[in-house]
Structure 1
Amino acid sequence: MDTQQNTALTRALAEVPGPLPTRGVIHITIPHTDRFTIVGNHLAQHPDLSCTAVGIAVRIQSLPQGTEVGIKALAARCKEGEKRIAAALRELEAHGYLQRLRHRLPGKKVITRTVFCNQPAALLHPRSRPAVEALPRPAASAAVPVRVPARAHVPAPVLTAAPPPAPEVPSAPPVLPPLFERRVPPPTAPKAPRRPLPQPSALTPELDRAATAFLSDLHRHAPQFFLSEDDVRRLVPGVAAWLERAARPDAIRRALTDDPPHPLRHPAKLLAHRLTELLPPAPPGVDGLAALAARPRVVVTPFQTCDDCDRAFRSPTPGHCRDCRETRAAYARAAA
């Protein structure tokens, strides 16, 4: 029996779409064909309801109409005691899932009716009439009785069907934009190819020795980054590319080993990813520095304060603003 169960479980896991997660729950979903109840995630994952209240709500929702759902009736069906069931019912009543109403019968007898709503948030918004009510009524309901006079010797009235009304074609519902835009690609979407490991312009013997020594000594500073000889040879070009770009070994070590995932299962893959994605820019060469020095500089004219009106104006030398200069020129012409 154990072997059959393991085989069935292995076969079911193989049919799960997409890659299996490395941690957490794995769902094997088999569609129900009978005896099932639809439960919303707003109830199953309610942040303020206890697990007992959620279970009692699912039990009540699965029962047919008219079933007793009082405290004693639920205690007879469930393993929880009356105190826990009473507390769970109070939680459901506080969050709108349950409501207990008192109703007086004609004989002055008072009864309590329990009303359970599977989606209380929907009661806060006006609900539209169901689409089936918009369809035309059957033509049989349009039959009109017609009496025939006695001389026609007809013993019973004859029903004559009136012409059925033209069926109303329901208008197409408006196309509404989606509430949420999917930004995460589905698991079956093709993955983008990985970028190749950076390569130096020339892997000189000095760069090769420095990169090999750096990778071989990496586990002394971060014990979880213990590399094999093949991993070192494969990652040497990437480290050489960093060293070629004037990156210091301690800076490279911090960039590659800082904040690794726990547990770290593939240190070589993480190093290859960080060597590729965090590659620093190449330092500017002699031509780049010469072009930077030859770039024309923007000269900003400083602000000056006018000697007459104390107003700020731009000028390379202190003096008077334009209005004061024009006023002085006008006075000079008038004096002449």
Structure 2
Amino acid sequence: MIGTPRIQSLPQGIEVGIKALAARCREGEKRIAAALRELEAFGYLQRVRDRLPSGRVITRTIFCNQPTALLRPRRPAPARPQASAPNPASEHTGPSEQPAPEAPAPLPVPPPPPPLPQAPPSVPLPPSLPLVPPPTAPKLPPGPIPRPDELTPELDRAATALLSDLHRRAPQFTLTETDVRQLVPGVAAWLERAAHPDAIRHALTDDPPVPLKRPALLLKHRLTELLPPAPPDTQELAALTHRPRITVTPFQTCEDCDRAFRSPTPGHCRDCREHRAEDLRTAA
């Protein structure tokens, strides 16, 4: 079926009459005429009758992409002046003057379609922050090294021994005495939270950067950022250990009808027990 997309694909100014479209399309003139009537009903197409300078009346088909442009009332064509009858008093023997041919009336041009509503101006969005800050971005000051609730002598000795022995397992982590005294509170906080010494060594010395320029600064960063959580309280552990258990009644098989039922002890199902009680009452 010939339709709006087919006519819109044709160049501007080409004929869109029934015979002209039948020559371009595979559909017959009847189907094309029905389609044109449907487009005319929806306002896409309009047919006007025009008179040529020769006096012939033709039907002109106008197609527009905007139906509202054709639905508007057309301006009336200017009236043509009628030829007056010859005045016999003005006749003379000289050559008669013929009036100049009248110019054809201009074809009505459909008014332009109404302007489409413009979208409101979009509010500029703030630029998204980069995922990786540039090298020139200001760096936040490092956080304080963690400290235990109470630095007991036992924790102090254990933390000092662990830090002083790091260079035996990882030679690049050779610390000065000042570095050890500054890092002892952080290791003591890990030991207070029940962290194993081997786990602390692995967390502090695993996969260091190459080359390692400042080992004490790396240890301080890892002691602060990788601090494990505090262990749960004794009452919380007791509550988790002694929480009430849900008792599940097991399935049993009825000795009379082999039906499955829940009961702590084997025996008969409810229906069989009722039948047995009724039989006993009948026998009594």
Q: TM-score range by the shorter chain?
A: 0.3 to 0.5
Which structure has the bigger radius of gyration? 2
Higher RCO (Cα < 8 Å, 6 or more apart): 2
Calculate the TM-score normalised by the size of structure 2. 0.47
Calculate the TM-score normalised by the size of structure 1. 0.41
